[in-house]
């Protein structure tokens, strides 16, 4: 019966969502042919995307009572995987990843390896056991395993700080898109993006509905693949960029020599900056296994068995986008170098004026010549700007922008919601006002979301760093604060409440202190470690403190040992633990 509901809803939402997106794109393409200006088309795309999300929220709210909690329990692993992939694809994957590879060459692959390798850790170390535990959130688990309030509070603090930085990166991404396509000043554009995201979140958000996430995945990946497939066909005649970009790499190498360009970018000699390559990889891997919006889906699969296989499907769907990112970088590089070599990059192009106004692309021409001789593209502008630079129809660029906006908005929406819930549930309800009404908690949740969003927008408007760097901070903080407590909580019975709380606090503080101190210029990077890999200090600190404090304190009670045994086995009930050992309730 649930199965029937699923397919029914699936069909309906699917038609509305994908059909709506295709229709919008088609109408705008026609308008563009009919001579409507690019600027108008760009504005229409951005506004339609926001309007679309807001209305999906409203639609979602009406369907929510029937679907909300049951959703995760009746969904086949394949769709859970697709939905997780949709949650996962944020501004960092969509806008930042290909740009990072474009800018750093082989070293940029650290992001690819880190973000995908983390799923192995999720599958083997965490997902099946968190599913067996079966409560709702990561702080719920910490609180049960490590005896209540202190663990819940520290865990919540870590989650909120990581989620906050993640939101900053999403707002930075929406700000770039709004600045470019609405023609606004960047600071103003960030706040316009904020308004769009809040509008959608307040409408109820959409991400709890798994069917909309499945459709979202398909739309986002189509928007991402569109330009790179076109570029691949143009350069090689074959529409499979993932297997054809080897040719692009070779021609890039040839052109670099011809142009005498100094950069070895994309000439794949291997790692340039070893400590940061491996540092970024490990921080992103462990951070992936600690972030709430990834783990949350696996708390609610139909069974432990399904939890394991869902992780595999998730990574498969993420791989489809990730395998295209290096191709995106390679074909973009080829296109730009080829145009430079042929003198086909005009210094008076409209896109160049627009992107330099936003401050993300700068170019130089020889004196008295209209053709550019060099161009610098900020990594965060690459994916959005390349359709225009390559002379593709403006609509292609607008589709990519809409896809990026969709990815950023759905991630920001979900993360703001998790911040709001942490404030209202874990802090307000648990700590400050235990007898508060659900209505009041909802107000606290909404207020928290608005305040967090405004603070995040302010931080994004100061341009603290590029998208992947800010996201890297979030991963480092999550990994340093939560990974040891989560993994040892399941795999080491001897881990005690005090050990875990001290470890979480130590890892998180070390990591945060390093990021702040280096960003503020108080210290120079230790061993050359960039702030994005700050977890290189935080993670060992957290492990050391957790291990030593645990061994110095009395071992967990028999009751706790039985609880751990029970979540290790798929079969049988979860062993209950009393008030003394931990506080679990179903609220």
Partner 1 sequence: MANDSEGPDISRRYWDKTSQLMRLVLLLWACLGFGVPLFAPILNDLVLFGFPLGYLLSAQGVLIGFVVLIFWYAGRQNRIDEDFHMAED
Footprint of partner 1 on this chain (CB under 8 A)? 106, 109, 112-113, 116-117, 119-121, 123-125, 128, 242-243, 245-247, 249-250, 268-271, 277-278, 281, 285, 303-305, 308-309, 311-312, 315-316, 319, 322-323, 326, 491, 565, 568-572
Nearer Cβ to partner 1, position 312 or 517? 312
The three-class DSSP label of residue 227 is helix
Angle of CA points 181, 457, 169, to nearest 5°: 75
Task: For the CB of residue 393, give the shortest distance to partner 1 in the complex, in Å.
Answer: 29
96: closest CA among 438, 466, 472?
A: 466
| Element of type H or E holding 376 | strand 372-377
Task: For the CB of residue 270, give the shortest distance to partner 1 in the complex, in Å.
Answer: 4
Task: For the CB of residue 91, give the shortest distance to partner 1 in the complex, in Å.
Answer: 21
Task: For the CB of residue 21, give the shortest distance to partner 1 in the complex, in Å.
Answer: 27
Nearer Cβ to partner 1, position 214 or 324? 324
Q: Supply 383's token pair.
A: 């994916």
Nearer Cβ to partner 1, position 439 or 571? 571
Task: For the CB of residue 326, give the shortest distance to partner 1 in the complex, in Å.
Answer: 4
> Distance (Å, rounded) from C-alpha 183 to C-alpha 77?
43
The three-class DSSP label of residue 556 is coil
Nearer Cβ to partner 1, position 201 or 281? 281
Q: How many CB atoms lie within 10 A of CB 489?
A: 25
Task: For the CB of residue 37, give the shortest distance to partner 1 in the complex, in Å.
Answer: 39
Nearer Cβ to partner 1, position 125 or 349? 125
Task: For the CB of residue 323, give the shortest distance to partner 1 in the complex, in Å.
Answer: 5
Nearer Cβ to partner 1, position 4 or 270? 270
- How long a stretch of residues is the chain? 587
Q: Supply 319's token pair.
A: 């791989």
Task: For the CB of residue 125, give the shortest distance to partner 1 in the complex, in Å.
Answer: 7
How far from chain centre, in Å, is Cα 154?
23
Answer for the pair 305, 312: CB distance below 8 angstroms, yes or no: no
Spatial neighbors of 432 by CB under 8 A, at least 6 apart, are: none
Q: How many CB atoms lie within 10 A of CB 456?
A: 27
Task: For the CB of residue 473, give the shortest distance to partner 1 in the complex, in Å.
Answer: 21
CB-based burial of residue 209 (10 Å sphere; 0-12 exposed, 13-18 middle, 19+ buried)? buried
Nearer Cβ to partner 1, position 53 or 563? 563
Q: Supply 295's token pair.
A: 């783990």
Task: For the CB of residue 243, give the shortest distance to partner 1 in the complex, in Å.
Answer: 6
Nearer Cβ to partner 1, position 25 or 252? 252
Alpha-carbon dihedral sign for residues 226, 227, 230, 235: negative
> Distance (Å, rounded) from C-alpha 439 to C-alpha 245?
55
Nearer Cβ to partner 1, position 17 or 111? 111
Nearer Cβ to partner 1, position 50 or 98? 98
| Element of type H or E holding 109 | helix 109-121
Q: Using alpha carbons, list the distances in angstroms from residue 116 to 88, 112, 319, 376, 397.
A: 11, 6, 8, 29, 27
> In degrees to the nearest 10, what's the CA dihedral of 166, 453, 460, 113?
10
CB-based burial of residue 62 (10 Å sphere; 0-12 exposed, 13-18 middle, 19+ buried)? exposed
DSSP 363: E
Q: Supply 317's token pair.
A: 């769907």
92: closest CA among 173, 207, 197?
A: 173
Task: For the CB of residue 575, give the shortest distance to partner 1 in the complex, in Å.
Answer: 12
Nearer Cβ to partner 1, position 165 or 309? 309
């Amino acid at each position: 019966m649930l199965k029937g509901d699923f397919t029914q809803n699936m069909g309906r939402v699917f038609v509305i969502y994908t059909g709506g997106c295709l229709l919008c794109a088609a109408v705008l393409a026609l308008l563009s042919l009919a001579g409507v200006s690019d600027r108008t088309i760009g504005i229409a795309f951005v506004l339609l995307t926001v309007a679309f999300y807001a209305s999906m929220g409203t639609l979602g709210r009406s369907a929510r009572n029937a679907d909300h909690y049951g959703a995760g329990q009746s969904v086949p692993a394949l769709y859970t995987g697709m939905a997780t992939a949709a949650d996962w694809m944020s501004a960092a994957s969509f806008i930042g990843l290909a740009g990072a590879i474009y800018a750093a060459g082989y070293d940029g692959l650290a992001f690819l390896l880190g973000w995908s390798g983390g799923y192995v850790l999720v599958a083997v170390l965490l997902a099946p056991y968190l599913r067996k535990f079966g409560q709702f959130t990561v702080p719920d688990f910490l609180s049960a395993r490590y005896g209540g309030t202190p663990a819940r509070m520290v865990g919540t603090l870590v989650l909120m700080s990581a989620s906050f930085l993640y939101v900053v990166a999403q707002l930075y991404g929406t700000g770039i898109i709004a600045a470019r396509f609405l023609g606004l000043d960047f600071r103003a554009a960030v706040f316009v993006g904020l308004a769009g995201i809040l509008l959608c979140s307040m409408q109820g958000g959409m991400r709890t509905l798994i069917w909309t996430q499945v459709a979202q995945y398909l739309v986002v990946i189509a928007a991402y693949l569109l330009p790179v497939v076109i570029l691949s066909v143009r350069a090689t005649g074959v529409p499979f960029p993932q297997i054809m970009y080897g040719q692009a790499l070779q021609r890039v190498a040839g052109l670099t020599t011809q142009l005498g360009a100094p950069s070895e970018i994309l000439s794949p000699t291997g790692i340039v900056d070893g400590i940061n390559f491996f540092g970024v990889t490990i921080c992103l891997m462990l951070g992936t296994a600690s972030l709430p919006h990834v783990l949350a889906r696996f708390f609610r699969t139909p069974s432990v068995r399904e939890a394991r296989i869902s992780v595999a499907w998730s990574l498969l769907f993420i791989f489809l986008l990730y395998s295209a990112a290096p191709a995106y970088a390679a074909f973009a590089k080829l296109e730009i170098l080829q145009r430079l070599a042929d003198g086909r990059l005009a210094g008076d192009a409209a896109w160049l004026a627009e992107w330099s106004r936003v401050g993300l692309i700068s170019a130089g021409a020889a004196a008295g010549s209209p053709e550019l001789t060099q161009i610098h593209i900020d990594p965060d502008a690459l994916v959005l700007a390349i359709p225009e630079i390559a002379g593709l129809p403006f609509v292609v660029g607008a589709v990519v922008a809409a896809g990026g906006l969709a990815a950023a908005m759905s991630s920001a929406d979900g993360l703001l919601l998790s911040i709001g819930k942490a404030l209202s549930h874990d802090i307000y309800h648990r700590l400050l006002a235990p007898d508060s009404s659900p209505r009041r908690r909802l107000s606290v949740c909404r207020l928290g979301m608005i305040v967090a969003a405004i603070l995040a927008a302010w931080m994004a408007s100061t341009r603290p760093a590029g998208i992947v760097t800010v996201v890297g901070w979030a991963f480092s903080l999550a990994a340093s604060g939560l990974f040891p407590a989560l993994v040892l909580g399941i795999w080491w019975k001897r881990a005690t409440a005090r050990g875990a709380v001290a470890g979480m606090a130590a890892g998180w503080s070390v990591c945060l202190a390093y990021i702040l101190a280096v960003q503020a210029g108080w210290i120079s990077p230790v061993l050359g470690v960039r702030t994005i890999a700050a977890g290189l200090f935080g993670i060992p600190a957290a492990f050391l403190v957790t291990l030593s404090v645990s061994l110095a304190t009395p071992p967990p009670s028999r009751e706790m040992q039985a609880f751990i045994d029970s979540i290790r086995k798929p079969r049988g009930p979860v062993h209950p633990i009393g008030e003394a050992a931990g506080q679990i309730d179903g609220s």
